[in-house]
Structure 1
Amino acid sequence: MITPAAGTVTVPKSVRLGYGVGSFCTATFNGVPGLLLLFYMTNFLAVPAWLAGVVVTAPKVWDLFVNPLVGRWSDRTASRWGPRRPWLLAGACTLPIAFFLVFAGPPLTGVPAALYVGACFLAAATAYALFEVPYKAMPGEMTDDYHERTSLLQWRMVFVGAATAISGVLAPAIATSDGQDGTLGSYRVMALTIAVILLLAMLGSFFGTARAPMTGAPEPDRGGWREQLAAVKDNPAFLWLTVLACVQMLAVSMMLAAAPYFATYTLGSASATQTLFAALVGPILLTMPLWVRVARRFDKRGAMLLAVLLFGGGTTAAMATPLFGPLWAHLTILVVGVGYAGLQLMQFSMLADVIAVDAATTGKRRAGVLTGLWTAIESGVSAFGALIFGIILTIGGFVESEPSTFVRQPDSAVAAVLIGQTAVPALIIFASALITLKYRLTPPGAPASPSSG
């Protein structure tokens, strides 16, 4: 294994804060549609569950094309703001508008409503890519130290926790403010509120990273797509990390899509979505220093395995919610939250390591290409979580509806909700433990591994 040079660049505290605040965008945009969009379409726009799942999935598949393209552009960008920050500004100017339009709720139902939401969500996904890909590429270029990157990214994860609170607590609270399940009007207010938060976070990250260091500043890789993809194919650490992230985020996206249904049909109250997410978010805000110490003590792979066990164990235990009630559900989600905090921190820290090692090995700036491919594949695969859950609902006989029409779901649909929230995500997340063993990029001074590249 080849590691970066030993001269450590310490990232200033102001830059850590400026970079971290951008996670209000990345976590909120992933969280709010993942949590509310499927429910919004099936219960407010009378879109069949399977079609709603397709709508949530299709724009994410588009990421497979647009994210690598944005990464390639940002690698080759030369400006007084650096290669990444112009793209942060471009995303800030477009994403808030597109996000609001997704939940604007025109007088449409069924297939026309699905087409409208799908078109707006596609535009939002494109605008998000302009920000997300360069944003995630930056940590690997800010410092050349293996553990400093984890320390830097714990600040990001604190903001992820705060953003997850907005996604899981504030957004559902606004959406349901006009009744137990909400109205089209309350969803519009929610969308406007979140759009403003996105704008402020993205602009804050643009201005806050103005003094971000750039280690090494290698030349951009000007090879063609074929050469760049061939280089990625020969990077085992990147390939295994991408597979790992895809599997884990597939499980997470299923749980996000299932959460409002779980709250409504298993716990008996849609408003329980907020308290469930409070249980999920709390550990993210409180356990970052602990996860940094675990990663230093057992390395990042060991920390990832522990996080998988906590996430999977909590999800499995949640299957007993019908027997033990809402308190049990919240306690198990609390355990899931501790594991989820570790998963997120280790994923992004490992990605920064892969980017830094690639630059040190090749002398080329390919952070954008690597990040674009990683986020595109991860996003595309994870989007299938909502589709899979929608199919599970359809198999269970779930009946779509409009706010004016009360529908009593059959027992088979209620059972499908529980399975989609617990059993299936647990199986997926436990499978990621085996994949974690294939990732072998180690810190400086550790024994080299044939699989680490």
Structure 2
Amino acid sequence: MSDTAASGRRLSFPTKFFYGFGSVAFGVKDQGFSYLLLIFYNQVVGLPSATVGLAIMVALMVDALLDPIVGQASDNWRSRWGRRHPFMYAAALPVAASYLLLWNPPAWSHEALFFYLIVVAILIRSFITLYEIPSSALSAELTQDYDERTRLLSYRYFFGWWGGLTMTLAAFKIFLAPDASHKVGQLNAAGYSHYGLAAAAVMLCAILISAVGTHNQIPHLKTPPHRKLTLPQLAREMLGTLSHRSFLLLLSASLFTSMGAGLVLSLNLYFNTYFWELSANQIAAFTLGNFLSAILAFAFTAPLASRMGKRPGAVMLMISSLLLGSAPIALRLLGIFPANGEPAVVYILLAQTIVSTALSIGGAILVSSMIADVVEDSELRTGRRSEGLFFAAAAFVNKAVSGIGIFASSMILALVQFPAHARPGEVDPAIVRNLGLVYLPILLGLYAIAITLISRYRITRESHAESLRKLAAAAERMEEG
């Protein structure tokens, strides 16, 4: 496919649907890791929170080392199934099997379970990398149109959120529902095992459906040139590609947003259970609200970017999400929020969660679309298309640093001396208050730095169009020569 054709190529609904549907697998994994894993291994299995956080951080950082390798390999892979699809097909079954193991730990000692958690977490995240990195790279490869990329990535984020939220909702409404032996459903060990089996099946189907559904696009995708690459040459090319200024700004911003996201998702269930004292059914209602958040983000993000541009839109959405998302905790700490148990608490938190989450999803969509636009700007400078490497580097940072965010969450719990096997309403109020006092300024600081960095990104609609024009002209000269 020529660069000119790619730049103006609009994708059909089935292509966008099947491309986006594959992110269900990543959404299920991400929600499970960020939302359920810490409380499962801490409050149910009985590992100390600091031990769980350390195990997750080690696993995520080891796995993150694989991302650039997979990205570079898929950028240069040659086969009759193209650059990306062989990796996507190969990942499906191992992803499902390893995720099932994660939620069915053996009855070992705490020391042995620490290493079990590390090994299994590395496996699942490494296998999902084999799918997620090539699949992410397709967003920049399927189309080079400035606005079409945002629309395409809106599908990806929509299905990622809906997939993860559906499994989270199923966890609370079906697998972790309270019973005679477990008045607090979140502490039901057998429920997590059943959740793991269902989630593994969903991830397997999502990956295969997406790979098969986008298989007909392979003839339209780029084919890398025949090259004999040495390790030193690969290292030089990776360094040269990733030194792109606008990309480094986005990558640096991801350092801080990923830490913040790891912090938010890991402690979210703690805040809902102990800070706000919500029941499993009420938490499930919040999950239902996030379905609406994903719909709202899907609806408004692409039109907003078309009107404002990607960078201004991302900055506005992230600032709004941060302020709105942190407001309830800040108001409670100031003593001007309704008391727990009052109906207003649930309604206010539900409305706040729906809107702030929608704004956050929209900001993430635009940042991913901005990364896709770096590809052509970099190609002008290096002569290479490196979609896989760019998205792999972003994933590397997200995984490694979100691991630090999860580890920081466990350290915050240890710092405020949050007890294990705690019951809602029975935790010392001073400990609950200290949790909010420590958490809030850290979160605000992380996102403030990220927003500042994103505001310095320089690729615009006009500069992107100029890059496409120059690339098309260069391609025509090569054909004529």
**TM-score, reference length from structure 1:** 0.91
Q: Would the aligned equivalents of 1:312 and 1:426 in 2 still touch at CA under 8 Å?
A: yes
Higher deviation after alignment, 289-298 or 195-204: 289-298
Pick from 374, 377, 393: which aligns with 1:357?
Answer: 377
The CA deviation string for residues 415-453 of structure 1, in whole angstroms up to 9 with x for no partner, is 24434664432332222221111211111357999xxxx
Q: Which runs of 4+ in 1 moved over 6 A?
A: 446-449
How many Å separate the matches in 1 of 2:369 and 2:90?
25
Q: Would the aligned equivalents of 2:44 and 2:187 in 1 still touch at CA under 8 Å?
A: no
How many Å separate the matches in 2 of 1:377 and 1:192?
29
Which residue in 2 is equivalent to 1:380? 400
How many Å separate the matches in 1 of 2:305 and 2:226?
31
Does residue 122 of structure 1 match 2:122?
yes
Q: Would the aligned equivalents of 2:325 and 2:356 in 1 still touch at CA under 8 Å?
A: yes
Shift of 1:406: 9.7
Pick from 209, 214, 225: which aligns with 1:219?
Answer: 225
Does residue 228 of structure 1 match 2:237?
yes
Q: Would the aligned equivalents of 1:157 and 1:285 in 2 still touch at CA under 8 Å?
A: no
Shift of 1:198: 0.3
Which residue in 1 is equivalent to 2:286? 276
Shift of 1:287: 3.0
Q: Would the aligned equivalents of 1:5 and 1:360 in 2 still touch at CA under 8 Å?
A: no
Q: Would the aligned equivalents of 1:143 and 1:215 in 2 still touch at CA under 8 Å?
A: no
Which residue in 1 is equivalent to 2:212? 207
Shift of 1:359: 3.4
Q: Would the aligned equivalents of 2:99 and 2:124 in 1 still touch at CA under 8 Å?
A: yes
SS at match of 2:262: helix
Does residue 316 of structure 1 match 2:326?
yes
Does residue 252 of structure 1 match 2:261?
yes
Q: Would the aligned equivalents of 1:174 and 1:189 in 2 still touch at CA under 8 Å?
A: no
Q: Would the aligned equivalents of 1:314 and 1:336 in 2 still touch at CA under 8 Å?
A: yes
How many Å separate the matches in 2 of 1:124 and 1:37?
13
Which residue in 2 is equivalent to 1:147? 147
Larger Rg: 2
The CA deviation string for residues 244-275 of structure 1, in whole angstroms up to 9 with x for no partner, is 22322221221110111111101213513322
How many Å separate the matches in 1 of 2:196 and 2:287?
18
Alpha-carbon distance change, 108 to 264 in structure 1, aligned in 2, over 3 angstroms: farther
How many residues are treated as equivalent by the alignment?
444
Gaps of 5+ in 1: none
Which residue in 1 is equivalent to 2:250? 241
Which residue in 1 is equivalent to 2:138? 138
Which residue in 2 is equivalent to 1:33? 33
Alpha-carbon distance change, 370 to 106 in structure 1, aligned in 2, over 3 angstroms: same
Alignment of 1:28-177 (within 5 A): 28-108=28-108, 110-177=110-177
How many Å separate the matches in 1 of 2:25 and 2:316?
28
Alignment-mate amino acid for residue 219 of structure 1: P
Gaps of 5+ in 2: 339-344, 468-481
Does residue 410 of structure 1 match 2:428?
yes
How many Å separate the matches in 1 of 2:16 and 2:398?
25
Which residue in 2 is equivalent to 1:195? 200
Which residue in 2 is equivalent to 1:395? 415
Alpha-carbon distance change, 142 to 446 in structure 1, aligned in 2, over 3 angstroms: closer
Alignment of 1:433-452 (within 5 A): 433-444=451-462
Alignment-mate amino acid for residue 190 of structure 2: G
Shift of 1:293: 1.1
Alignment-mate amino acid for residue 286 of structure 2: L
Q: Would the aligned equivalents of 2:82 and 2:221 in 1 still touch at CA under 8 Å?
A: no
Alpha-carbon distance change, 80 to 229 in structure 1, aligned in 2, over 3 angstroms: closer
Matched-pair identity in %? 20
**TM-score, reference length from structure 2:** 0.86
Q: Would the aligned equivalents of 2:82 and 2:223 in 1 still touch at CA under 8 Å?
A: no
Q: Would the aligned equivalents of 1:261 and 1:270 in 2 still touch at CA under 8 Å?
A: no
Which residue in 2 is equivalent to 1:304? 314
SS at match of 1:444: helix
